[in-house]
């Protein structure tokens, strides 16, 4: 049976852990040549060892770093068929309590990052290519004590729509909005005392957190040949969280 991404080159930002690692693993299994990037070399090395992916330390919020990433990708692969903008951070904070530095950190990584990576890599994306942005259900609705995160992820949702309109018909752009997924980010929130595990599980009507592999399955569909007529779609993979 033919592999769905045979011959494709895919970049996954934030590819060392969590959802990014699961996407890198699934894409590699389906025949893609995978590149991953992130800020920390250890998880990148571990994911690369497990998947055969190439890796580079890069900061998606830095234009110099992203330019270096583009140069490296061109040298290693010549093109990039699929760009998955997954890198992200979470910081608690209300409109009143969030500092300017915290606001900038979240917006620069979670919103500027997807734009900057896509903007810089467009010359490497051939016709028929894909951009997939990973947002959040907090880009579709809001909650207290996450002002910068909600603003950033809401921006990613509408950025995706703009990309789809501007890049058609050559490049497709879609967005996945996960609810609470069992990742190191979720664990960090629990350890920091900002959430409890049971509450996070019950946030989804289906009664449990999602698994990174479940997000990767949707990513594969959206970036594969069965979704060639799909662009500008904002898809909640959320255990029913946004149903009512």
pLDDT for 126-149, tens place per residue? 999 999 999 999 999 999 999 999
Q: Is the pLDDT of residue 192 over 90?
A: no
Q: Which of 176, 185, 189 is nearest to 222 (CA)?
A: 176
Domain of 55, CATH number, reads 3.40.50.720
Nearest to 151 by CA among 163, 140, 165: 140
Checking if the pLDDT of 198 tops 90, the result is: no
CA dist 4 and 77 (Å) reads 19
Q: What is the dihedral of CA 33, 38, 85, 154, to 10 degrees?
A: 170
Q: For residue 12, what are the β-bridge partners?
A: 36, 84
Could you say which of 87, 149, 223, 239 is catalytic?
A: 149
Q: Is the pLDDT of residue 190 over 90?
A: no
Check residue 189 and give its pLDDT.
67
Least Cα distance to 157 among 140, 143, 172 occurs for: 140
Contact 204, 241 (CB under 8 A): yes
- Model pTM? 0.95
Total domains in the fold of the chain: 1
Sign of the C-alpha dihedral computed for residues 182, 101, 43 and 83 taken in this order: positive
Q: b/e map of 19-49 (b: 16 or more CB within 10 Å)? A: bbbbbbbbbbebebbbbbbbbeeebbeebbe
Answer whether residue 190 is part of any domain.
no
pLDDT at 184: 79
Give domain status of residue 140, yes or no: yes
Q: Is residue 10 predicted with pLDDT exceeding 90?
A: yes
Domain with 44 in it: 9-180+211-236
* Confidence (pLDDT) at 187: 72
Q: For residue 48, is it within any domain?
A: yes
Using alpha carbons, select from 83, 142, 147, 149 the residue that is nearest to residue 117.
83
Angstrom distances, CA of residue 183 to CA of 5, 39, 87, 168:
25, 17, 13, 33
Answer whether residue 244 shows pLDDT above 90: no
In a domain, 227, yes or no: yes
Examine the residue annotation and report whether 149 is marked as an active-site residue of this protein. yes
Residue 1 lies in a domain: no
* Residue 141 token pair: 């609705």
Q: Is residue 67 part of a domain?
A: yes
Does any domain span residue 192?
Answer: no
DSSP the chain: ---TTTT-EEEEETTTSHHHHHHHHHHHHTT-EEEEEES-HHHHHHHHHHH--EEEE--TT-HHHHHHHHHHHHHHHS--SEEEE-------B-TTT--HHHHHHHHIIIIIHHHHHHHHHGGGPPTTEEEEEE--GGGTS--TTBHHHHHHHHHHHHHHHHHHHHHTTTEEEEEEEE-SB-SHHHHHHHHTTS--HHHHHHTSTTSS-B-HHHHHHHHHHHHSGGGTT--S-EEEESTTTT--
pLDDT score of 132 = 99
| 191 domain-assigned | no
């Amino acid at each position: 049976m033919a592999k769905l991404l045979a011959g494709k080159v895919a970049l996954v930002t934030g590819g060392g852990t969590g959802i990014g690692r699961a996407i890198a693993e699934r894409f590699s299994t389906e025949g893609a040549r995978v590149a991953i990037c992130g800020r920390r070399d250890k998880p990148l090395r571990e994911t690369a060892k497990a998947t055969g992916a190439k890796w580079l330390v890069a900061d998606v919020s830095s234009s110099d770093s992203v330019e270096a990433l583009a140069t490296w990708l061109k040298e290693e692969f010549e093109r990039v068929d699929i760009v998955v903008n997954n890198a992200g951070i979470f910081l608690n904070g209300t409109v009143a309590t969030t500092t300017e530095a915290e606001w900038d950190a979240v917006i620069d990584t979670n919103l500027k990052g997807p734009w900057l990576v896509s903007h810089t890599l467009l010359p490497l994306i051939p016709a028929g290519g894909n951009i997939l942005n990973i947002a959040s259900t907090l880009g579709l609705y809001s909650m207290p004590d996450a002002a910068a995160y909600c603003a950033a992820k809401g921006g990613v949702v509408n950025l995706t729509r703009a990309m789809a309109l501007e890049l058609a018909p050559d490049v497709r752009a879609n967005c996945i909005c996960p609810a609470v997924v069992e990742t190191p980010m979720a664990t960090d929130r629990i350890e920091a005392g900002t959430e409890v595990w049971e509450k996070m599980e019950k946030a989804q009507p289906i009664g449990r957190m999602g698994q990174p592999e479940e997000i990767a399955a949707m990513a594969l569909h959206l970036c594969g040949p069965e979704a060639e007529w799909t662009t500008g779609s904002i898809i909640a993979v959320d255990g029913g969280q946004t149903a009512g």
